[in-house]
Structure 1
Amino acid sequence: MSRVKEVQALAEDLERALGDPHDRTSPLSFARAMALDEAERYPHELLGFLMRHGFHAFAVPPEHGGRAVHVEDELMALRLVARRDPTTAMALAITHVAYLPLWLAGSQEQRSRYARAVLDGGMVAWALSERSHGSDVLANTTAAERVPGGYLLTGEKWLIGNATLARTALVFARTRQEGGPAGYSIFVVDKDTAPAGAVRELPRERLHGTRGIDISGVALQQCFVPEANRLGREGEGLEIALKSVQPVRVIINALPLGAADTALRLTLDFARRRHLFGTSVSELPHPKAQLVACFCDLVIADAVTAASARVLQAAPQYAGVWSSVTKYFVPGLLEGTVTRLADVLGSRHYLRSHPRYSVFQKMMRDLRVAVFAEGNAATNLRNVAAALGGLLAPSTPAAPHVREAVRERCPRVFDLDADLPPYDPKRHSLYGRGVDYAVLGLPGAADDLLSIAAGAVGTEADLWRRCAAVARRFLGEIDRLRTEHGQLRTVLGRDFGRSAELFELAGQYCVVHAAGCLVQLTVRSWACLTEPFPSGSVLLACLDRLWRQLHPTQRVTDRDVVDAAAAALYRLHDDNRLFSLRNVVLAHVPT
């Protein structure tokens, strides 16, 4: 079976197991999710159902009984859960995230032991952040003092997922008094065997969205941890943490993708049934344009996340920058998407007890957790800004080894049907900053669009030529960014690295990266896409959304393009398919 068909079969099997979320009798119904949300209750029963259906296996490698071979499989599974309830998806993901440092740096015994626990539904907490230091982990003060046979851990960790419910916590602690990059290590703390009074759970925090999640903290006081419970060598904690977060910054985008899919689907349910001024709301020019814009946002976010998930396997040495671009760009984009949809849905988006639309406000609240969890927008944009000089280097695209890498890697990254090596977090690097295949492969993809246009006729040929022309405009933006980057460095000198202007350039680079992902996925996955994709109208409408992030007053579409993109959107809605480049039929009970 091809890779695309494997993901489709996986997704549709999961959909059948989960059922139509509008059906109150389905295991993960909107009604059940809303009831738990109103009560601020942890979704124990829902997680139990998912464990019995094998969802926990997506976090565990095959050698320990799991099925974590392809990142895109876990991404799809979480997305389908999140379209029903982002809270349950987040609860599931927290333990998956916490297992990654064990997979990356744990001993064979540690990996095996905690893999079994995860598969059996056990929870793990990843205790990294502290109340006073946030994302500045090198300022963390939780200390691990060496004593005979192990360490004594003292300090407090805060805003930690599963901190109260999990019996096991991975604790990031200072092992050198002076700290520094080599001054931290990670320890496995077993609450059930810790000395009495050595571990104390902090009060659970009440949340705006994902209300049922266990977000709290732990206080450690002279907590003895055997040396065998340290992950890796002493001083490797920061490296393990930074490598572990790379896949997390990709996978967490399943939450906004799932939430935005439901928000768009609910809004279409309303807009296509509601009649005003003699026609449906969805056919009024302004609401139609809004719906198409939101559809394009989802397609763009889908493309960026899909490419980043594949890079984790195809080119893991460059996943650091890719994952930061994705984590910065996708949640913020989709947060704006759902806000725009609320305008179309009108007052119904504000209701908590409407029999059909009340879940919209929950999706709107829950989505925001992805904006700041596992590194907020500023943290990830800082990572992109730090790498921007290398990404914009004028010699990079012309270097023979880079051209060869583009020819080899771009098809593996952007052809959704291409085989990938099994995922292995040990292949991640902290230093692969200067290569972005989304941008480097864009010139060739623009040429491919012209070739597609040459083989088409009439309106379709014109659409593909227009897509190629806009793709080349984005290449011109790289030249502009390179020039402005150099000028800024000269003007600001030592203040350059932390300047707001540099961050702004980094944000603009992310837009060009998104365009590269979208165009390359279109041309390189051409043979495996299903109607209404590939579509020149949808691609041009998506490129218009991105172009106007850089140049708000410059439109590259027209009313005919919007109408054709709307037809593609309405077809997916009629067919009850995921709003994605992937062909996934969703569970549905006819009403």
Structure 2
Amino acid sequence: MNGLYAATLAQLEQRLGPVSGQGPLGQDATLARDEGEAFPAEALTALRAHGVPDLLVPASEGGQFVSFEGALAVGLTLARRDPSVALSQGMLCWLWLAWMVGSPGQRERARALLQGTAAPCFAASEANHGADLLATETLALSRPEGWEVTGEKWPIGRASHAAFAFVLARTRPAPGPRALSWFLVELDQPSVTRLPKVRTVGLRASDLSGLRFARAAASPVGEEGQGLELTLKIFQLTRPLMAGLGLGTGDRALRVATRFALERELYRASAASLPSVRRLLVGAWLRLLAAEILLLSGVRALHGAPGQASLSSPLAKAIAPALVEQAIRSATTVLGARAFMREGPAAIFQKMARDHAAVGLIDGSEPVCLHALAAELPQVFTANAGSGTLLRSRFSLEEPVPAFAPASLGLTARGVDDVTAELPPGLLPHWSALRQGGSEALRGPARLETARRYGLLHAAACCFHFERFNPGLALCRAGVPALAGQFLMDPEALPETACREIFDLLAARVEGGHLLSVTDVSAGPASETALAG
């Protein structure tokens, strides 16, 4: 079954049933929640019955978590059904703050939370400061009876339904890297006010709201002054997982558009027979596959190369959602007017497109993540100290990853990127061109564009490495990952013959009910039909 990732995908697809099925995880319920902007309580209860939350919790805390690639599979599978459900369930990943540095009492509180469908909320951002965490105004003061937190956090996820919050607050008078600390705050106390839900364009069923604290009792999580460091480390875990929701939205959107092209008659033939339509759909699939491979590399590196996560995690969060966004845009062009219909057989498409637009904003927008990546690149450009010896453990899906060691996470990769340390010949000219002007560009206005170009090169290299270390996968035997890597660097260079061959593979997967994944996992019976009427 090609390892844990594929096995988890297959297991969840079997447990949860077809995306077009009935019940709280089926398409009708998903669209109804979206139209009514209703929190997915019933769906979360169903996931608890299927044992899904246990897959996100480490065995040491009573769960069944083995690796972050399993968590990535959970996000993909749930987002194929409803990204709002996937995001609401994915909030359990914030419990890693407790698993990593929490006190025994806080970890016990976190374990108790898992008995129901509740989750914590991560109260970091503030309305006036957004991603500028150093400007945090929420204040925590130490009193004889304990710590108290005062301030307001907005917008944050699950604030209306969370049992407790992890709150980032300032514990020193002057702002600075050591002025922030994390606290656990129970939310059912009179000194906490839950702010109203924010109405959003996408993820309408999600709970995006806020919290106001007025001397609320709080307990420190980790050491005082450790807040910024812990935030940067927890983002190394959550950024690729949040980006992974896009793999589900992209799968569903591309599936709808491909089936439409196969069924739609134009000029006495199917729309899929037109080279321009095939090229749009093939390009979309190659970008989706590249995003999946990039994210798999990133989450596996959390186990095998955690010291590189400060580079690989923001890179994945900046690049993968952008690739899926481009894929959905191509699918929108193919669908035409049906891409905007909120009812009918293709209605799920517009929801997936709207929901995905928010994926790139969660846990750091593209510019924020490119900024973090750019800070790592001067040392990489000077002398990448990475080694090809870790590539197998990073890319071979059949190779079990080492146990996750949170203490091995660092605040800088120190110029190490194993992925680009060993490049295939076809990517070396791109690397040389990037290095030639890269160091100077990183000091000027082209800084973020240089980081983006490096991110694409890294993603392309991941595609080549993945194909090399997974020869048993059907798509690897067909050379599709390497073509995806080439496509990222030069979309116009894809030969028409290769385009036709890849489209045939895509059509076979859609009609055969397989996930549009680099794995060979079946998604059950084909679910989108009669779209061309």
TM-score by length of 2: 0.96
| In structure 2, distance between residues paired with 1:486 and 1:79 | 36
2:19 to 6, 18, 21: 21
Aligned to 2:200: 207
Matched, 1:547 2:489: yes
User: Cα offset for 1:224?
Assistant: 2.8
Aligned to 1:556: 493
| In structure 2, distance between residues paired with 1:133 and 1:439 | 35
Q: Deviations over 1:245-279 (max 9, x none)?
A: 11111111221110010011111111111111121
Deviates more, 1:101-110 or 1:6-15: 6-15
| SS of residue in 1 equivalent to 2:217 | strand
Asked if the contact 2:512/2:526 (under 8 Å) is kept, the reply is no
| In structure 1, distance between residues paired with 2:429 and 2:93 | 38
Asked if the contact 1:321/1:433 (under 8 Å) is kept, the reply is no
1:417-566 to 2 correspondences below 5 Å: 417-442=398-423, 446=424, 472-488=425-441, 496=443, 499-526=444-471, 528-529=472-473, 531-536=474-479, 538-539=480-481, 541-548=483-490, 555-566=492-503
Q: Deviations over 1:450-503 (max 9, x none)?
A: xxxxxxxxxxxxxxxxxxxxxx242222222222124446xxxxxx2xx32111
Residues matched between the structures, number: 528
| In structure 2, distance between residues paired with 1:117 and 1:487 | 50
| In structure 1, distance between residues paired with 2:475 and 2:187 | 53
Matched, 1:38 2:35: yes
Asked if the contact 1:392/1:478 (under 8 Å) is kept, the reply is no
| In structure 1, distance between residues paired with 2:307 and 2:207 | 33
Aligned to 1:388: 377
| In structure 2, distance between residues paired with 1:42 and 1:436 | 41
User: Cα offset for 1:201?
Assistant: 1.2
| SS of residue in 1 equivalent to 2:168 | strand
Aligned to 1:232: 222
Q: CA RMSD in A?
A: 1.7
1:148-159 to 2 correspondences below 5 Å: 148-159=144-155
Matched, 1:252 2:242: yes
1:579 to 516, 522, 531: 516
Aligned to 1:177: 173
Asked if the contact 2:308/2:416 (under 8 Å) is kept, the reply is yes
| In structure 2, distance between residues paired with 1:543 and 1:60 | 34
| In structure 2, distance between residues paired with 1:299 and 1:312 | 20
| SS of residue in 2 equivalent to 1:22 | coil
Matched, 1:93 2:81: no
- For 1:296, give the aligned amino acid: L
Asked if the contact 1:75/1:251 (under 8 Å) is kept, the reply is yes
Q: Deviations over 1:86-112 (max 9, x none)?
A: 111011112x23212111210123123
Asked if the contact 2:76/2:245 (under 8 Å) is kept, the reply is yes
| SS of residue in 2 equivalent to 1:230 | strand
| In structure 2, distance between residues paired with 1:92 and 1:299 | 24
User: Cα offset for 1:432?
Assistant: 1.8
Matched, 1:220 2:213: yes
| CA pair 535-237 structure 1, distance change in 2 beyond 3 A | same
Asked if the contact 1:19/1:588 (under 8 Å) is kept, the reply is no
Asked if the contact 2:173/2:179 (under 8 Å) is kept, the reply is yes
| SS of residue in 2 equivalent to 1:340 | helix
| SS of residue in 1 equivalent to 2:377 | helix
- For 1:103, give the aligned amino acid: W
| CA pair 240-359 structure 1, distance change in 2 beyond 3 A | same
* Identity score, percent: 30
Deviates more, 1:556-565 or 1:501-510: 556-565
User: Cα offset for 1:5?
Assistant: 4.1
Asked if the contact 1:290/1:341 (under 8 Å) is kept, the reply is yes
TM-score by length of 1: 0.86
| In structure 1, distance between residues paired with 2:145 and 2:44 | 37
Matched, 1:280 2:280: no
| CA pair 426-369 structure 1, distance change in 2 beyond 3 A | farther
1:5-20 to 2 correspondences below 5 Å: 5-20=3-18
| In structure 1, distance between residues paired with 2:439 and 2:117 | 52
User: Cα offset for 1:44?
Assistant: 0.3
| SS of residue in 1 equivalent to 2:360 | helix
- For 1:218, give the aligned amino acid: L
| SS of residue in 1 equivalent to 2:213 | strand
| In structure 2, distance between residues paired with 1:350 and 1:331 | 21
Q: Deviations over 1:284-338 (max 9, x none)?
A: 1110111110111111111101111100111111111100110000111111211
Higher-Rg structure is 1
| SS of residue in 2 equivalent to 1:533 | helix
Asked if the contact 1:18/1:27 (under 8 Å) is kept, the reply is no
| CA pair 97-504 structure 1, distance change in 2 beyond 3 A | same
2:364 to 375, 379, 384: 375
Aligned to 2:392: 411
1:70-109 to 2 correspondences below 5 Å: 70-94=67-91, 96-109=92-105
User: Cα offset for 1:357?
Assistant: 0.4
| In structure 1, distance between residues paired with 2:202 and 2:407 | 34
| SS of residue in 2 equivalent to 1:392 | helix
- For 2:422, give the aligned amino acid: G
User: Cα offset for 1:589?
Assistant: 6.6
Deviates more, 1:154-163 or 1:581-590: 581-590
Structure 1: runs of 5 or more not aligned:
447-471, 490-495, 550-554
4+ residue segments displaced more than 6 Å: none
User: Cα offset for 1:120?
Assistant: 2.6
- For 1:21, give the aligned amino acid: V
| In structure 1, distance between residues paired with 2:197 and 2:426 | 50
1:304-343 to 2 correspondences below 5 Å: 304-343=294-333
| CA pair 337-589 structure 1, distance change in 2 beyond 3 A | closer
User: Cα offset for 1:118?
Assistant: 2.4
Structure 2: runs of 5 or more not aligned:
none
| SS of residue in 2 equivalent to 1:171 | strand
